[in-house]
Structure 1
Amino acid sequence: MRIFIAGASGAIGRHLVPQLVARGHEVVGTTRSAAKTGALRALGAEPVIVDALDPDSVADVVARAEPEVIVHQLTALSGPADFRHAKKMAAATNRLRTVGTDHLLAAARAVGVRRFVAQSNALWMERAGGPVADEDGRLEPNPPKDMEESVAALRHLEETVTSISWADGIAIRYGAFYGAGTDISAAPDAVMAGLIRKRRFPIIGDGGGVWSLIHITDAASATVAAIERGKPGIYHVADDDPAPVRDWLPDLARALGGGPPRRVPAWLVRLVAGKGPVNLMTQARGIATGKTKRELDWTPSYPSWRTGFTEGMS
């Protein structure tokens, strides 16, 4: 198939492009930066530069590409992680998940795209219920005030994409990424890994929030499966070992060569950084992937972060 990847130079795009090319697909990949076109070409994609928030620019590059499938992997989550400015950091991504999604969908419909796959995430599953949510679960309806816009943007993306009638609309809720090209890797410039090594990414409160994690190559392989044989709706993509932050973060710190993470009282983080980070660290729920395995015939090569952290960080 001819596949258009919006955000092909991002963390998952850099793994998704070569996997698709290896399976015989033609890939057109977007980037905002002319400096990244060479890297995309080296991966096997036809690079195009586009401003995803400019509807005319999006319409033009999609019309010229004439894709059968569009994959929406646009975010703006690069740069230093700073809980004190989490809302500001997320603002650009919120726009890409709302305005950017709308522009891509309009362009897709105009050229007759038959499948549209978009990136969501699993960190804001509804807090009511057990430690793990399946694909029927909804996003948290009452998030902390400092996270309302981010959760609303995710909800807009999921509802808009999965409700289209003219193509197969698929939203993928990914677990937290780790591995080469992500912020949690062995690379010296990996931002989150650097904070963890320096013991500047603490366990907040009891650290009881359950996170699902996923190695980036597994996230890409699941996305390939969704592109090739997914049905309209929502898929969960994570490993088989959802766990509280207090369990996986010390293991990650050790794997990265850092000391044990510090512990910080929830009340202090709430005062300094807001309620959002506290909620993520103490109340998050993991995700189940039964539907994804069953319908897409997919299994992760790293079924647990316990092996992924030691074997898959480079």
Structure 2
Amino acid sequence: MNRKVFLAGATGAIGRALAPLLVEGGYTVFGTTRRAERAAELEKLGVVPVLVDVFDAPALHHAVERIGPASVIHQLTDLPAGLPPEKMAQAVAPNARIRDEGTRNLIAAAVAAGATKLVAQSIAWAWREGAMPYRETQPLDTEATGARRVTVDGVVSLERQVLEAPLTGTVLRYGQLYGPGTGTDEPRGASPVHVEAAAWAARLALERSPGGIFNITEETGVVSAQKAARELGWSPAMRGSLPDAAR
């Protein structure tokens, strides 16, 4: 049985929390980074480093085809460390490019390599204003303007590509992250989620998802994550190497 996972964005906040969960689950994890100096960090997590840029389509295609993973997990973002407000405005366009062009390149490489599953990171605050709690079937804010429009367009592109790809595609709409590597240890935003719980959602999606969209947030009354609880067995209380319920 092929237990190879290609983890794009392995050095990001969720990637660093997810990699040990995958290794513990018996997967052989190949994690990407654009910076050679981060290879040692990945090796300490039990990950095989893959030095590649998602925008270099031929190199990405070669890397994924050489590995031949059964599954691909897309945790790529282009955001400043710690998400400082003064730098976030400049990150909007590069991050949207990751969601659009980066996702397109990653899916093409995954399909060419024979992967059968794809799990991708999205966000749980791109909704069109409406009745709360927001559920997966409610529309996104495609009539937004300015920087928000750029963000929403990137989200729409990513989600459409993942769901229309010729493999089992799952979109995880994460709330605002907190915890190690996120820049804050306390919940923030209208629909927060701890980074370790977010990582657990990716592993559970890999193992249990039939495809589709899942909200991954704490229950604050703004966004509903009941579908993830019901179909994936996910809980926002999950931390560390085991869910709290299994300790």
Does 2:139 match 1:138? yes
TM-score by length of 1: 0.71
State the match for 1:17 in structure 2. Answer: 19
Residue pair 2:57, 2:105 contacting (<8 A) in 1 also:
yes
CA offsets 1:201-228 (integer angstroms, 9 cap, x no match): xxxxxxxxx7110011100011100011
State the match for 2:130 in structure 1. Answer: 128
TM-score by length of 2: 0.90
For residue 287 of structure 1, the aligned residue among 218, 223, 240 is: 223
Q: Distance in 2 between matches of 1:129 and 1:7?
A: 33
Q: Structure 2: which 5+ residue stretches go unaligned?
A: 240-247
State the match for 1:268 in structure 2. Answer: none
Q: Which moved more, 1:140-149 or 1:51-60?
A: 140-149
Report the structure number with the largest CA radius of gyration.
Answer: 1
Aligned positions, number? 237
State the match for 2:35 in structure 1. Answer: 33
Q: Give secondary structure in 2 for the equivalent of 1:134.
A: coil
State the match for 1:182 in structure 2. Answer: 182
RMSD: 2.0
Q: Give secondary structure in 2 for the equivalent of 1:92.
A: helix
CA offsets 1:112-168 (integer angstroms, 9 cap, x no match): 1100111000121121223x201112211222322211110000001111112x210
Q: Distance in 2 between matches of 1:291 and 1:82?
A: 32
Q: Distance in 2 between matches of 1:68 and 1:6?
A: 14
Q: Distance in 2 between matches of 1:181 and 1:79?
A: 8
Alpha-carbon distance change, 294 to 143 in structure 1, aligned in 2, over 3 angstroms: same
Summarize the alignment of residues 158-169 of structure 1 with structure 2, pairs less than 5 Å apart. 158-164=159-165, 166-169=166-169
State the match for 1:71 in structure 2. Answer: 73
State the match for 2:232 in structure 1. Answer: 296
Identity %: 35
Q: Which moved more, 1:139-148 or 1:36-45?
A: 139-148
Q: Distance in 2 between matches of 1:94 and 1:113?
A: 24
Runs of 4+ with deviation above 2 angstroms: 79-88
Q: Give secondary structure in 1 for the equivalent of 2:214.
A: strand
Residue pair 1:239, 1:302 contacting (<8 A) in 2 also:
no
Summarize the alignment of residues 268-287 of structure 1 with structure 2, pairs less than 5 Å apart. 286-287=222-223
Residue pair 1:37, 1:47 contacting (<8 A) in 2 also:
yes
State the match for 1:56 in structure 2. Answer: 58
For residue 198 of structure 2, the aligned residue among 219, 225, 233 is: 219
CA shift at 1:58, angstroms?
0.8
Summarize the alignment of residues 79-228 of structure 1 with structure 2, pairs less than 5 Å apart. 79=81, 81=83, 83=85, 86-130=88-132, 132-164=133-165, 166-185=166-185, 211-228=190-207
Residue pair 1:4, 1:70 contacting (<8 A) in 2 also:
yes
Q: Which moved more, 1:76-85 or 1:21-30?
A: 76-85
CA shift at 1:79, angstroms?
3.9
Matched letter for residue 289 of structure 1: A
Alpha-carbon distance change, 302 to 71 in structure 1, aligned in 2, over 3 angstroms: closer
Matched letter for residue 102 of structure 1: R
CA offsets 1:56-111 (integer angstroms, 9 cap, x no match): 11101101111000001110112474656644222211111111000001001101
State the match for 2:46 in structure 1. Answer: 44
